[in-house]
Structure 1
């Protein structure tokens, strides 16, 4: 599935100390020289052989840095020896035996590796041999300075922790990792080169979690952090500087780098709003969520890019104590813009999402060991002629027949009378559809939907159970047309989860209305109706020039500007903590942010739509 990043106005400009700003070293050659300077200092302090761990996330390219290390090693008369940690792992067959219980026979989903650690995949004898080599080398007196670099996943294992003189962690963001994975260019655990047959389920259900637990350890152990998204232009900083950056960033409103995904129901409103080279149609545009990255400007003419999940080092400040205590390690929200604009009338089978539903927390815990179900809302940000949403079943629909037809079709054979089963609701701007788990639904098209959901998995695993996709072909990005294979369905899971909610119940419970909560002459706030099983509120703030809001020190909020040009969010207590968002952009307001004001920098009215957890 193709992804396109869009970083316009995504910079997070924060104030850090001059010492921290000056401490960041950028560029492949300069980072290599800086590393060897640290080694030289260790040598001058009495270490003739310096042992260095170079741990990192999937996707890091080591070759450019190694060239720089070898080049500078010769210039600085430092001997450079390298050991690749890929050689420390068990055989590929043994690694797959370990993974198999989590991959399962299910063609679409696996089971989360809840407790595994990287060391589970490492060979004891190989690790012991390296340990003995490092001990011997570290105690050996040499004629000059020598560095031994242990490079790659597992290099910073606890098995060797007590031996290293320097520990570097190389970070990478999710989108370029996925590009490598889909192109068969990713080198997973135990592979010295890429594995073109690497299964995506290995990453989403196992490797992500092993990497994450290793990263959590590494961020506490490391001496230096290296942002390595561009292998030719890494940015290296001491741990103290990295810690100050994260500690500071979590007190600001946080913008993320958007992603766009074309799809078989994708549309074209994006052409009027954004210039995204290569994007042929727009189905999903993610504006906030745990799988995105952040750009950080600390005032030194360099932009540091890192996963937003790095901010979970300060979970109570970021997501709030209730979410942290209830769902440890989870950033539980996703926000998307679903495109639905066509300049000419199109049939529903072209404009509509697949008819699908989502699982509850109980279902994902029992079946996939995920922490949180998928609770969803559609907010109609723009409505065009014939705007509509599919939600629920008709009162007279024969649902046994519907299930039989979906199972027989499996999206290969058209169900000609599919409209006899699902309900079509006409949409208007400002409508909100609540979509609790087990409710059949789909964006019907001819509208721009602000979709605000819970995020089931920090790995980014998608839990949408497709029942029917009109037996149509899907988007093929290489040819920029709808010639791809039809989507796979998930009828077994879907009908296990289907609550069979019909028209009257949907009308009474899921077509939410806004109720005014606060009003004054400057601004007002309303809150949409909800149902008990939905864990979050959807609220709106309306103002012309100035509005106010608060996290109460406990509610992480995600705000999206849907009416207005540009808005500045500014802390009332610390005005330097601020950020500007443009129309259709989202911003995460950390739970610790407190009281703040919203300042509209354009003319006319302004509306900000807010997503927040009910409990705090």
Structure 2
């Protein structure tokens, strides 16, 4: 990890290339009065908590910590722990407070042992799919050694810091730091973070896969077990900044949201087939990005909820709302779906782009048997806008030869050759406000020059 300097501010390009790789700007940590008034689609929708609820800066957090002889700082994957410690230590030194630091990462199992633990859940390296892990966070640690860690003598405050720090079972205040899922991915692409228990940087796609099927599953279980211990929740998606709040105020905010209308923060990604409808019309998106293929509007494992107080913004994962308030959200269905929200909303943008990848979602029996999911992915395409000759591909042609189709697809993957898809899949002319129903097991794709609102029944494993 690169060295940091809080004395010499870096340029935007230096910061972006060092700890995150994305052309889309990070969400601002503070909005002025003018910025907070958005006429139309808001890429940073927030929910007000009233004044005085969200605090800003490492100095203010250090001021709070100084009242305790021992503190635990735990957190999610993607946190830049070296930076957090550096900024807090600078703040403590300015106040003449002597701190002793203990790193939870020093008590992780060896990387090769962690790899042995996680490999069964990752499938083949070339494959997209894995299976949700059954591991727990303490499986990654030399847990008995971690639990023997004690207060450092001769300091004003001992701080145990890092993912899994609260496994020590210290009866002290717990500060929990979070990073939004999209920012974790941007940090993976910049090689500034690694997977849980790993020191070696892998390809971004592999790190995302391991995060999705292992790290995030394990850390969500851990976070759920901490809900009665956390005192402060912090958001560290920015470099050199932190916004934080008391857990009791956050819990009140989540409880309120679980009983009213809410909107999560969307995030946008380019893709091989991506288009330009959103890029041309949505304020705040980078006009220099090659395209935008997706806007993830509401997906539990991917999106976050933004709270606001005095202009300061603090984001928490949408899955935290489900961990804390799933009964209010799902009502009588909470017993079946648990902490998963079984509906997904997103935009697919192929406007002046290409054809979306041809795909097919598994039957209910297959996904239950092979992936242990409750439900499968049934979809609808609602055409928000389209050009005159836009199409939607849906359903096989009569009498196709499955072996021939498979051969053509495998050749296309191996050689990069085009497939005459209409030989195998039906093409339907799209019109604005058309609704296409896509049951599981149905081959489908959005053609070029569409803006699609995709509404899906969605298991944890989704596409």
TM-score bracket, shorter-length normalisation: 0.7 to 0.9
1:95 and 2:106 are equivalent in the alignment = no
Equivalent residue for 2:277, pick from 248, 259, 269: 269
CA distance in 1, matches of 2:443, 2:193: 36
Q: Is the 8 A contact 2:123 2:131 kept in 1?
A: no
Q: Is the 8 A contact 1:12 1:296 kept in 2?
A: yes
Mapping of 1:408-423 within 5 angstroms?
Answer: 408-410=411-413, 412=415, 414=417, 417-423=420-426
Alpha-carbon shift at residue 219 of structure 1 (Å): 2.5
CA distance in 2, matches of 1:409, 1:255: 40
Mapping of 1:441-520 within 5 angstroms?
Answer: 441-457=444-460, 461-463=461-463
How many residues are paired up? 423
Mapping of 1:34-73 within 5 angstroms?
Answer: 34-36=64-66, 38-39=67-68, 50-73=69-92
Partner of 1:127: 146
Partner of 1:24: 54
Q: Is the 8 A contact 2:263 2:305 kept in 1?
A: yes
1:170 and 2:177 are equivalent in the alignment = yes
Alpha-carbon shift at residue 386 of structure 1 (Å): 0.4
Aligned-partner SS, 2:252: helix
Distance 1:70 1:3, change over 3 A: closer
Equivalent residue for 1:33, pick from 63, 82, 98: 63
Distance 1:413 1:118, change over 3 A: closer
Q: CA RMSD in A?
A: 2.6
CA distance in 1, matches of 2:200, 2:260: 39
Partner of 1:613: none
Alpha-carbon shift at residue 321 of structure 1 (Å): 2.7
Partner of 1:319: 330
Mapping of 1:278-289 within 5 angstroms?
Answer: 278-289=288-299
Q: Is the 8 A contact 2:195 2:207 kept in 1?
A: no
Q: Is the 8 A contact 1:5 1:257 kept in 2?
A: no
Q: Is the 8 A contact 1:338 1:451 kept in 2?
A: yes
1:179 and 2:194 are equivalent in the alignment = no
Q: Is the 8 A contact 2:73 2:177 kept in 1?
A: yes
Structure (1 or 2) with the larger CA radius of gyration: 1
1:199 and 2:210 are equivalent in the alignment = no
1:331 and 2:341 are equivalent in the alignment = yes
Relative to total residues, which structure has the larger strand share, 1 or 2? 1
Distance 1:63 1:89, change over 3 A: closer
Partner of 1:236: 244
Higher relative contact order (CA 8 A, sep 6+): 2
1:384 and 2:387 are equivalent in the alignment = yes
Structure 1 residue ranges without an equivalent (≥5): 40-49, 343-349, 464-616
Alpha-carbon shift at residue 207 of structure 1 (Å): 1.0
Distance 1:390 1:3, change over 3 A: farther
Distance 1:244 1:406, change over 3 A: same
- Of stretches 390-399 and 66-75 in structure 1, the one that deviates more from structure 2 is 66-75
CA distance in 2, matches of 1:66, 1:310: 25
Alpha-carbon shift at residue 69 of structure 1 (Å): 3.3
Query: So what's the TM-score if we normalise by structure 2?
Result: 0.84
Q: Give deviations 1:513-565, integer Å, cap 9, x for gaps.
A: xxxxxxxxxxxxxxxxxxxxxxxxxxxxxxxxxxxxxxxxxxxxxxxxxxxxx
